[in-house]
A and B are shown apart, each in its own frame.
Chain A
């Protein structure tokens, strides 16, 4: 079946602009995760959604970052007033229940000029 898909694959934006990154999880996966991969920090957890429960936002680096998951499926990660340090690859993953294997999408490479 289809894997996790993310769009866009690349995004170049100017400092101060808002961006939206999209993730389509594997059909039937109830858990969805966002991670960030950057040269300085490696791979970092950002946020976790499980069903209709309140999301775990403990990894979001600032209040400029937010995410939502509509209808228990597609998720959007929004970064407001982007800064150069936001440049990174943003990875989405999904799984059946939490603690099951997380399957990753190809990522969105964000470049903030």
Chain B
């Protein structure tokens, strides 16, 4: 079955420290990969996406992610976090590539930035 796993449900990190949020998926088909952020009581905002091309993608707010096909991973990184990055982060995958559309989400990772 196709699934998305976010290994850490909660990640505390000190302000200005680096952070990595992990995402793995299980599938042998083509994938499109996304990271969304959700601030309290708000909808989902797109951080970045991988559709094709360079495996290192840069997004908003200084975040980046790298697609690793052999490890079926799409980990999200930021070299220096701010208090305002405190939010829940969701990895999402469209399985099957072109013509597919249904987003399958991971369970989310709550990032807490400590002053």
Using CB atoms and an 8 Å cutoff, list the residues of chain A in contact with chain B.
4, 31, 33, 35, 42-45, 48, 50, 56, 59, 91, 93, 95, 98-99, 101-107
Contact = CB atoms under 8 A, between A and B. Distances in A.
- Mostly, the A contact residues are strand
B44 A91 contact: yes
11 contacts: A42-B106, A43-B90, A45-B103, A56-B102, A91-B44, A93-B44, A98-B101, A101-B34, A101-B46, A104-B36, A107-B43
Contacts of B36: 104
Task: Rank and list the top 10 A-B pairs by shortest CB-CB distance, nearest first.
Answer: A98-B101, A43-B105, A104-B44, A104-B43, A106-B43, A45-B102, A42-B107, A107-B43, A105-B43, A99-B101
Interface of B: 32, 34, 36, 42-46, 49, 51, 90, 92, 94, 97-108
Contacts, number: 51
B101 A101 contact: no
